[in-house]
């Protein structure tokens, strides 16, 4: 349950909040064209996510990093444009070119953020029953519950935020939307840099690699910043609803004003509750989920004639196996760790216990899955041994006479990573 609750909150919370605040601001513009562009962007983003999910599920054509890179590029352009557009009210400007710029920015921001948030929502249900003989058991029910609860928290928080932003002044909605986009922008830039470095699409400069690793370790901080924006907006709405005296031309209008104030307070408390639950999920929930993670000590196998021989029956159980080879590095030696896992009946995944994005932090096994220690990403076993993303750095090997052969020269060439 907790596993999918964490995943859904991490995938959807930021997008839900940013889109809610943008929708509230556009609602105040009272521009039908801007509203239509928002809805068209949402439909386009969800449609793109659906197409990707279908291709990912049924073909080997779809590559997540390239899909994300395209969606991130659209999101970045739209986010920057939306910040400029809303700050200077381009969307409602009389100038046709500036109005078109505002509408295009809104469309790109909404479609890009939706395209990033929805693929996992569509794909996670296919993994609910993985490793189970049947779905009629408590484990399956808990996974579904965590998934549904995560969606409920994210979308209900976003909906409540939209409701309290409605009565707020345009100035308040504007600073909240601009703050949310100011948080989203570096998050998008970091995601782009991570993909470009991981896929070797740009030179791997050490400062850039260190920046990416630093950002990956603190990725949840962007969500915490958005939570702070939500909490401030909710607190301001509560204070205003309590300090303002209900007024109206007749008793009916006074009663309605009091009812609206109570409604605002209820939605504000809902936002605060959603923020608290999301924050606990990404902090205490993650800590609890990762409790007791014990790394299997790597095994050092003897080398002979520049080769390390691993009997296949030693790694045929489908579990993660960690090994180490002491390689020269300058005037000393360093342990170069590598991993082996059987992917299916005929194939093995072999790679370093390190990746291009997260460095030498390594991997561990959790409930039969291979997981990155640093970013908690679950590896698709079928891609272990292939380059790119958060996959282990591939390591050459060959199988001969019931043994796996790995060259010590290949391991020693990677000593710089450890």
Residues 6+ apart with CB under 8 A from 260: 167
In this structure, is residue 75 part of a structural domain?
yes
Boundary-marking domain end, from 263, 289, 315: 289
CATH of the domain at 403: 2.102.10
User: Which of 270, 289, 308 is at the close of a domain?
Assistant: 289
344 and 279 in one domain? no
- Both 231 and 324 in one domain: the answer is no
102, 208: one domain: yes
Domain annotation covers residue 385: yes
Helices 170-198 and 220-243 cross at an angle (nearest 10°) of: 170
Beta strand pairing call for 363-366 and 321-329: unpaired
- Are both 105 and 31 inside the same structural domain? yes
* Residue the block writes with tokens 């520049």: 306
- pLDDT for the residue 277: 93
Q: Which two tokens stand for residue 163?
A: 């409701």
- Residue 294 is assigned to a structural domain of this protein: no
Neighbours of 96 (CB within 10 A): 8
> What per-residue confidence (pLDDT) applies to 3?
80
371 and 397 inside one domain: yes
**Predicted local distance difference test score (pLDDT) of residue 90:** 45
Domains: count for the chain:
2
- Written as tens digits, the pLDDT of the chain (418 aa) is 778 888 889 888 888 988 888 888 777 766 677 778 888 999 999 999 999 888 888 876 777 778 888 888 888 888 888 777 766 654 454 567 777 787 888 889 899 989 988 988 888 888 776 655 666 777 788 888 999 999 999 999 999 988 887 666 777 777 887 788 888 888 888 888 877 776 667 776 777 777 777 777 777 888 898 899 889 888 888 888 777 666 666 777 777 777 878 888 899 999 999 999 999 998 888 777 766 566 677 888 888 888 888 888 888 887 888 898 888 877 788 888 888 888 777 788 888 888 877 777 788 887 777 888 776 777 777 778 777 667 788 888 888 888 889 888 888 888 877 8
Quick one: pLDDT at residue 380? 73
Q: For residues 230 and 156, give the distance between their C-alpha atoms in angstroms, rounded to a whole number.
A: 13
pTM greater than 0.85 = no
Task: Name the strands in the sheet holding 348-352, side by side, starting at the edge strand that comes first in the sequence.
Answer: 299-300, 321-329, 332-342, 348-352
418 touches 336 (CB < 8 A): yes
Paired residues of 303 in beta bridges: 308
What element of type H or E holds 307?
A: strand 307-311
User: Which pLDDT score is estimated for 44?
Assistant: 93
Are 248 and 313 part of one and the same domain? no
Give the separation between CA 299 and CA 400, rounded to whole angstroms: 21
Which domain range does residue 247 map to? 2-289
Tell me the C-alpha distance between 341 and 353, whole Å: 12
> What pLDDT, on the 0 to 100 scale, is given for residue 245?
60
- From 258, 289, 320, the end of a domain falls on 289
Query: What is the C-alpha to C-alpha distance for residues 60 and 56, in angstroms, rounded to an integer?
Result: 7
Question: Whose structure tokens read 């901080």?
Answer: 221
Residue 186 falls inside a structural domain? yes
With beta carbons less than 8 A apart as the criterion, state whether 361 and 171 touch: no
Nearest to 231 by CA among 282, 281, 184, 180: 180
Residues 312 and 280 in one domain: no
Half-sphere exposure of 66 (CA within 13 A, CB side): 5
Q: Is the domain of 413 the same as that of 305? A: yes
Same domain, 72 and 218: yes
* Together in a domain, 278 and 243: yes
């Amino acid at each position: 349950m907790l596993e999918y609750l964490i995943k859904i909150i991490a995938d959807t919370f930021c997008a839900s909040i940013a889109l809610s605040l943008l929708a509230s601001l556009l609602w105040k513009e009272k521009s039908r064209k801007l509203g239509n562009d928002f809805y068209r962007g949402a439909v386009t983003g969800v449609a793109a996510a659906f197409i990707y999910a279908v291709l990912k599920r049924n073909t080997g054509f779809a590559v997540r990093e390239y899909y994300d890179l395209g969606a991130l590029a659209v999101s970045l352009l739209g986010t920057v444009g939306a910040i400029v557009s809303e700050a200077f009210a381009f969307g409602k400007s009389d100038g046709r070119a500036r109005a078109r710029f505002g509408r295009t920015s809104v469309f790109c921001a909404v479609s890009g953020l939706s395209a990033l948030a929805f693929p996992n929502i569509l794909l996670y249900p296919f993994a609910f029953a993985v490793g189970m003989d049947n779905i009629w058991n408590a484990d399956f029910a808990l996974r579904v519950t965590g998934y549904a609860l995560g969606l409920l928290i994210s979308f209900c928080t976003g909906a409540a935020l939209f409701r309290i932003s409605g009565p707020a002044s345009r100035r308040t909605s504007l600073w909240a939307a601009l703050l949310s986009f100011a948080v989203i922008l570096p998050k998008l830039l970091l995601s782009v840099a991570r993909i470009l470095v991981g896929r070797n699409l740009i030179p791997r400069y050490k400062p850039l690699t260190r920046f990416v690793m630093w950002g990956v370790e603190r990725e949840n901080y962007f969500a915490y910043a958005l939570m702070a924006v939500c909490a401030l907006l909710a607190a301001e709405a509560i204070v205003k609803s309590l300090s303002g005296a209900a007024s109206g031309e007749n008793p009916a209008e006074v009663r309605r004003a009091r009812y609206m104030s109570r409604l605002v307070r209820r939605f504000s408390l809902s936002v605060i509750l959603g923020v608290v639950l999301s924050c606990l999920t990404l902090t205490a929930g993650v800590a609890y989920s990762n409790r007791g993670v014990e790394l299997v000590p790597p095994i050092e196998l003897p080398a002979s004639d520049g080769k390390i021989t691993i009997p296949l029956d030693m790694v045929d159980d489908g579990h993660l196996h960690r090994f180490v080879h002491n390689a020269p590095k300058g005037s000393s030696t360093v342990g170069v760790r590598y991993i082996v896992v059987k992917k299916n009946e005929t194939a093995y995944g072999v790679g370093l216990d390190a990746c291009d994005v997260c460095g030498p932090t390594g991997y561990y096994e959790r409930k039969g899955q291979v997981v990155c220690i640093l970013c908690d990403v679950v590896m698709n076993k079928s891609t272990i041994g292939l380059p790119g993303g958060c996959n282990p750095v591939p390591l050459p090997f060959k199988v001969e006479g019931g043994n796996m052969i790995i060259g010590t020269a290949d391991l020693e060439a990677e000593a710089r990573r450890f």
